[in-house]
Chain A
């Protein structure tokens, strides 16, 4: 399916319909003319809102090597953590838990959380990026401990974690608009021919088998974190072909199944199945085995503000260590073994030098490429490809009624460019208010990421409306009249894309290595999969290395 033609057809038919109505109004003469005309005269949708995103301008200071003022002050800190996303926060948490308190986490934004960032309006808090986790794998004790610590796991029953019932996604959970009706669940079913259903069943049987298979090294074939997966060549070689190729080779050709798997790739990695490696494509389905005392396997855990809630929990305990609006511009390892970091305060517009024993770069590699410009790092940065995303938060009163399943937490439409929207008010306990906020996710994957990114940065608010509204109207005819506000948020480098020959490449192995036991790396782009769990382990991993390193 091509997203581009979708927009065009939608817009054209929309225009035709509008013109037709207008003419009809003229014919009836006088009585209705006024109303129709006024509606057409206003901008297409009469919706207000903002177009924002992470501080690209500050980021571009790095890229464009803008001249900065000379550092005014010098500050010493034992460990400097650059980047306050989940990786950086997790590293800080680990240091603190292990008695190390001399550290600082800096972030160039005026908030921490990276792409788990969230927003808040008068209706509800809502995600701007990452918005859920799943029940943890039972062998992931580090993660289980953390979840227990923050009361996501309240207690254990028969050795099984009992998840906080206010955080498990409230029912109804997922629905898909397909063949004219909202069906329950996201796997195509309503109006799907038996032959396709058979393939869908076969695919899930296949991944169920993979899920429970261990390699010759005794490790599961697919594990979270990624690095704990089996090293068996027979399975790792799946990283060299695309998911699409893999599926074709397996004889899967049902358009419904392929749509679903393509949707999954877009949802998890921001890219289509033709771009994603087969290993990564399967990892999503075959790596989650978490069970619990009170929820289904793989049950989803979420909050109104998405993973922003997790950020708040981590942040609270690290309050005194976090400095925001601080951009690291340059790193240098001095002959005395100290690392000098040049820090630019994007609000005060001054610079300082932080002298650290160790630095954890909890930043993506495209940023590190600029930070480490004078330090040789034998890797190819071009191999790291990041998917751009548009996230739209839609405030509306009363959703038009539709055929089939009621509003769910996750709402997806078959064969459209977006991956649907989540209802930020799902976890509300009060009797539902009519006003809601929907967080709509659109992966910009129709072109190469660099091109999509550039195009995304250059679009105006109205242009985004023209892209998003036809799809929303398709989901819910008449929804335009209920929408009060849409805020657009653009992630230029939304998440790492696990393309072919990436996750198990020599290049990535090399990129994970610390530099002279001074600079350590923690980021999901080093796992190849952008999920909370990976970031969490990345941080711990780097913190452990710091604790082991001699000062």
Chain B
């Protein structure tokens, strides 16, 4: 054995120590990502990890022969376990009930293996140094490795590589140590070829993991949605995700559920029919938002409607609902109808330049969860919408949940009233949303008349069910609020407060 070898082993100590701490940090970070409460997660993970290292150290005395070979095997094992740890933990998070058992199992296993490393190394080196030198050198490198790991992990690894890739990278380093030791101590190891092959295969596996890490994380996104993701697309405005499970389609925009195909009819029938059924003369209809074409599908059931103008910001969204087979089946090709004109524009900018009048206007914007969307719920906006209504026309606005967010709902009502409109608030139950609210508004001189009958073939709306929808039980009844304006945006604040209690 030449003189360089002890130095090589000391470098191994350094790498091994770095890798060991990195695995611990990965487990801690992952646990606090997925389970929250970072203080608890980190402290229990560190505790379990250190304790497992203790077990490893204790167990090390049972390794008596072929220590070098054992050391190499353990290195390979640590590399594999540590390298795949982040991926496996990510993937199992959604699918198994006792995630914590897997998590702490992994932490213990890594801890035990890492705990074995240093004692074994010290025994390998024991004849080459005096005891005091041995202890001082091994522990010096051990602790320097730990420092390096703790610094590069938050500063370089997480921002640049992310958890999954970091794990693979250090797994590779671990196995690389095994391989190098293997090659350098060729003559002293039994079954050296077997060990060499094993390390090379492991490195290859880890490299594959590293390269495909991005695919894995996007797969894990699919795991956070309980159903199978069948379509994802990032447009300049939002991330569209479509999932499917047992024939039920769900559309998510930026992670928020927009509809579920099994009960969306409750929402869209309630949005459209009470208003449009009351306007037998209606020819021109405007829909703002609602790029899924589902409201338009309901509107097209009226033969008297000759033109529907749909204004939706996101071309990615309307194109999807014009081209995707599953989706066009759902909206009955509504966005391809010759009666429908799709305009991709920002609603506020578009409406400012409009002069054409509409008999029926549907406003189906996302909930007012931020200041940008909040502008589309202001008196300034409603004043512009009012100007587009024909004298006998009617508009309807999706107005969030009067049960979860009564203040928000009644603010929309108050804001509509403030621009000189007569409002008709109503609500129904949509299983995937909960209790949901809508507000119709007319000019006061042409008040709303309840339809005496509805189109045949509707699944939810009828004369009787609409009577119920008009009634607001005590827990949703009207509250006094201010008017939502561009210069106060109170709706966004109410909405945030009210939904914060739920989400």
The proximity string for B residues 213-245 relative to A, scoring 1 for CB distances below 8 Å and 0 otherwise, is 000000000000000000000000100000000
**Contacts A24-B152, A28-B156, A32-B156; A432 near B372 (Cβ below 8 A):** yes
> Does A53 sit at the interface, judged by CB under 8 A?
no
Residue of B nearest to A25 (CB): B156
Interface string of B453-496 (1 = CB under 8 A from A): 00000000000000000000000000000000111111000000
Contact across chains for B486 and A171 when beta carbons are under 8 A apart: yes
Of B160, B378, B487, B489, most buried by chain A (CB within 10 Å of CB) is B487
Distance, CA A21 to CA B152, complexed state (A): 10
User: Residues of A within 8 Å of B, CB-based: how many?
Assistant: 23
A165 CB contacts on chain B under 8 angstroms: 378-380, 485-487
- A170 to chain B: which residues have CB within 8 Å? 371, 375, 486-487, 489
Q: Which residue of A lies closest to B351 (CB)?
A: A429
Judged by a CB distance under 8 angstroms, whether B387 is at the interface is no
Measured CA separation A99–B196 after assembly (Å): 100
Is A541 an interface residue when CB atoms closer than 8 A count as contact? no
- Residues on the A chain within 8 Å of B375, using CB: 170, 429
How far is A169 from B380 in the complex, measured between Cα atoms in Å? 13
| Bound-state Cα–Cα, A36 to B35, Å | 33
Q: Tell which of A24, A165, A171 has the most Cβ of chain B within 10 Å.
A: A171
Cα A431 to Cα B380 in complex, Å, equals 15
Chain A residue nearest to B365 in the complex (CB): A431
> Is A295 an interface residue when CB atoms closer than 8 A count as contact?
yes
Give B176 Cβ to nearest chain A Cβ, in Å.
Answer: 13
Known: A32-B156, A165-B486, A171-B486. A430 touches B148 (CB 8 A): no
Q: Which A residues are CB-close (under 8 A) to B349?
A: 429-430
Q: What CA separation (Å) do A166 and B346 show in the bound complex?
A: 16
A299 at the interface (CB under 8 A from B): yes
Q: How far is the CB of A354 from chain B (nearest CB, A)?
A: 44
Chain A 155-172 interface residues, beta-carbon cutoff 8 Å to B: 165-166, 168-172
Interface string of B357-396 (1 = CB under 8 A from A): 0000000000000011101001110000000000000000
Known contacts A166-B380, A431-B373, A299 near B487 by CB under 8 Å: yes
Interface membership of B198, Cβ < 8 A: no
Among B123-170, those with CB < 8 Å from A are 148, 151-152, 155-156, 160
**Which residue of chain A lies nearest to B488 when distances are taken between CB atoms in the complex?**
A171
Task: Report A-chain residues with C-beta under 8 Å of the C-beta of B372.
Answer: 431-432
Q: Note all chain A residues with C-beta closer than 8 A to B380.
A: 165-166
**A524 to B497 CA separation, bound complex (whole angstroms):** 46
- Is A169 a contact of B155 with CB atoms below 8 Å? no
Minimal beta-carbon separation of B473 from chain A (angstroms): 32
> What 1/0 flags go to A453-483 for Cβ under 8 Å of B?
0000000000000000000000000000000
**Bound state CA distance, A21 and B151, in angstroms?**
10
| Cβ proximity bits B308-340 to A, threshold 8 Å, 1 near / 0 not | 000001000000000000000000000000000
A429 contacts across to B, CB distance below 8 A: 346, 348-349, 352, 375
Closest to B169 in A: A31
For window 170-227 of A, CB contacts with B under 8 Å fall at 170-173
Which residues in window 221-264 of A have CB below 8 A to B?
Answer: none
Answer whether residue A27 sits at the interface, using C-beta atoms and an 8 A cutoff: yes
Other-chain contact of B485, A172, A294, A432 (Cβ < 8 Å): A294
Residues on the B chain within 8 Å of A299, using CB: 487
Query: Is A172 touching B148 in the complex (CB atoms < 8 A)?
Result: no
- State in angstroms the CA–CA spacing of A27 and B156 once bound together: 12
A169 cross-chain contacts in B, Cβ below 8 A: 487
Interface string of A20-59 (1 = CB under 8 A from B): 0100110110001001000000000000000000000000
| Contact residue among B151, B348, B485, B489 (Cβ-Cβ distance under 8 Å from A24) | B151
Q: Is A383 an interface residue (CB 8 A)?
A: no
A360: min CB distance to chain B, Å:
36
> Cβ of B348: which chain A residues have Cβ within 8 Å of it?
429-430
Interface flag for A324 (CB, 8 Å): no
The distance from the CB of A182 to the nearest CB of chain B, in whole angstroms, is: 14
Q: Which of B156, B346, B487 contacts A295 (CB 8 A)?
A: B487
Chain A neighbourhood of B489, CB < 8 A = 170-172
- What distance in Å separates the Cβ of A128 from its nearest Cβ neighbour in chain B? 24
Per the bound structure, the CA–CA distance linking A430 and B349 in Å amounts to: 6
Please, which residue of chain A has its CB at the minimum distance from the CB of B156?
Answer: A32
User: Does A406 make an interface contact (CB < 8 A)?
Assistant: yes
Nearest-neighbor residue (CB-CB) of B489 within chain A: A171
Query: How distant is the Cα of A294 from the Cα of B380 in the complex, in angstroms?
Result: 12
Q: Which of B237, B352, B379, B488 has the most CB of A within 10 A?
A: B488
Query: What is the chain B residue whose CB lies nearest that of A299?
Result: B487
Which residue on chain A has the smallest CB distance to residue B418?
A294
Kindly provide the distance from the CB of B426 to the nearest chain A CB, expressed in whole angstroms: 28
Q: B373 contacts which chain A residues (CB < 8 A)?
A: 431
Q: Are B155 and A432 in contact (CB under 8 A)?
A: no
B237 and A431 contact, CB distance less than 8 A? yes
Tell me which residues across on chain B come within 8 A of A430, comparing CB atoms.
Answer: 346, 348-349
| Chain B residues, Cβ within 8 Å of A294 | 485
Which of B160, B378, B487, B490 touches A32 (beta carbons < 8 Å)?
A: B160
Among residues of B, the one whose C-beta sits closest to the C-beta of A170 is: B486
CB distance from A461 to the nearest CB of B (A): 30
The docked-state distance in angstroms from the alpha carbon of A431 to that of B490 is 17
Cα–Cα distance between A25 and B151 once the two chains are bound (Å): 11
Query: Are the C-beta atoms of B313 and A431 separated by less than 8 Å?
Result: yes
Q: Are B346 and A431 in contact (CB under 8 A)?
A: yes
Complex Cα distance, B380 from A52, in Å, reads 38
From known contacts A172-B371, A431-B372, A432-B372, infer whether A166 and B156 are also in contact, taking CB-CB under 8 Å: no
CA distance A432 to B237 in the complex (A): 10
> Who on chain A is nearest to B486 by CB?
A170
Residue on A nearest B379 in the bound complex, by CB:
A165
B486 & A168 in contact (Cβ 8 Å cutoff): yes
Listed residue (B348, B352, B371) with the most chain A CB atoms within 10 angstroms of its CB? B371
CA distance A170 to B380 in the complex (A): 11
CA distance A33 to B486 in the complex (A): 49
Which residues does chain B contribute within 8 Å of A32, judged by CB atoms? 156, 160
A494 to B148, CA, bound (A): 52
Q: A32-B156, A429-B352, A431-B237 are in contact. Are A406 and B371 (CB under 8 A)?
A: yes
Q: Are B371's CB and A432's CB within 8 A?
A: yes
Closest to A406 in B: B371
A27-B148, A165-B380 in contact; A21/B486 too (CB < 8 A)?
A: no
Residue of B nearest to A24 (CB): B151
State the Cβ distance, A422 to closest chain B Cβ, in Å: 15
B379 cross-chain contacts in A, Cβ below 8 A: 165
Contact call B487/A171, Cβ cutoff below 8 A: yes
Q: How far is the CA of A410 from the CA of B137 in the complex (A)?
A: 58
**Of residues A35, A429, A430, which shows the largest number of chain B Cβ atoms within 10 Å of its Cβ?**
A429
Of all chain B residues, the one with the shortest Cβ separation from A295 is B487
| Residues of chain A within 8 A of B346, CB atoms compared | 429-431
Alpha-carbon distance between A170 and B375 when the two chains are bound, in angstroms: 9
Query: Chain A residue with minimal CB distance to B313?
Result: A431
Q: Which residue of B lies closest to A32 (CB)?
A: B156
Digitize B77-113: 1 where CB-to-A-CB distance is under 8 Å, 0 elsewhere. Answer: 0000000000000000000000000000000000000
Question: Other than the known A168-B486, A169-B487, A170-B487, what 16 A-B pairs have Cβ atoms closer than 8 Å?
Answer: A24-B151, A27-B148, A28-B152, A28-B156, A165-B380, A165-B485, A165-B486, A171-B485, A171-B486, A171-B489, A294-B485, A430-B348, A431-B237, A431-B313, A431-B373, A432-B371
Residues of A within 8 A of B (CB): 21, 24-25, 27-28, 32, 35, 165-166, 168-173, 294-295, 299, 406, 429-432
**Could you list which residues of chain B lie within 8 angstroms of chain A, going by C-beta atoms?**
148, 151-152, 155-156, 160, 237, 313, 346, 348-349, 352, 371-373, 375, 378-380, 485-490
Query: Can you show 29 pairs from A to B with CB atoms below 8 A apart?
Result: A24-B155, A25-B156, A32-B156, A165-B378, A165-B379, A165-B380, A165-B485, A165-B486, A165-B487, A168-B486, A170-B371, A170-B375, A170-B486, A170-B487, A170-B489, A171-B485, A171-B486, A171-B487, A171-B488, A171-B489, A171-B490, A294-B485, A429-B349, A429-B352, A430-B348, A431-B237, A431-B313, A431-B346, A431-B373
Task: List the 8 shortest-distance A-B pairs measured between CB atoms, nearest first.
Answer: A171-B489, A429-B348, A168-B487, A430-B346, A432-B372, A431-B372, A165-B380, A170-B486
